[in-house]
Amino acid sequence: MISKAVDYFQTIMQTLGKLEKHWDKLPEKEKDQIKQTLSGLKSIAFKKILEKVKYKKIQFDKLSLEIINLKQNRELSYEQLLSLLKQIIENSKKKEQKKIIDYCRILIYELLANMNIEGIEAHRKAVEIDSDYIDAWNDLGTACTLIGEYEEGLIAFKKVLETNSEDKELWYNLGLIYDNIEDYNEAIKCFKKALEIDPNNRAIWNNISKTFEKMGNFKEARKAYLNSLESNTSDNP
């Protein structure tokens, strides 16, 4: 039954993906038929959640997308829905259906919010459901850094690094974590990686200066500080 639901959900999402590009060009009669068909789908717990999700360029007025009931007219629990989403995401990865994956990732956070799971716990749950959800890994790394969970933040940012090594903010954040756990050599390496992308960033030069100072290397600290004074970009990484 679960596998049928997965296929059913994917079919609907594929249809929505096609409609995104052509909805405005469809005759009004055809639009009405589509609305009537979709609004007639049997409702389950997805109803309230999916009403909140705005799909790009699709204006179905008050239409809410609904999915079939898997338990004989009983609504699934949020945990079961998350499990279903996980299966849909894994299936979609095999078929390289990026649009469906993107929709499901939105729904992960919608479901978690309805379970009163937010903030860092939501990010942890999101990457547990989809280990390739890079935005969630990045948000997890940022949240961990803010509360001093540096080891977990390091793991999260390294996961992001696997797919994006040209992000100066990512290297900067890694540098901050290494600096906080007193691995100053690694901190300097990360800050310098960020400088390769943005060589005139004042915030990065300032942090290099402070890190060298902590290492007792006052010559390099002074040099970095002078570079920060000559930098012409903002204090933000």
The answer to whether 49 and 110 are in contact (CB under 8 A) is: yes
Using the structure block, give the residue that is written with the tokens 């038929």: 33
Cα distances from 37 to residues 41, 54, 58, 215, in angstroms, run: 7, 19, 15, 67
Domain ranges of the chain: 1-117
Chain mean position to CA 146: 18
- pTM: predicted TM-score of the whole model, two decimal places: 0.69
Indicate the SS3 state at residue 71: strand
More confident residue, 56 or 229: 229
Mean per-residue pLDDT, 145-173: 94
For the chain, where are the alpha helices, taking DSSP H only?
A: 2-22, 28-39, 46-52, 78-94, 98-114, 119-129, 134-146, 150-161, 168-180, 184-197, 202-215, 218-230
Q: Which region among 50-54, 56-60, 96-100, 161-165 has the lowest average model confidence (pLDDT)?
A: 56-60
Task: Give the model confidence (pLDDT) of 192-226 as tens digits.
Answer: 999 999 999 999 999 999 999 999 999 999 999 99
Task: Give the model confidence (pLDDT) of 162-190 as tens digits.
Answer: 998 999 999 999 999 999 999 999 999 99
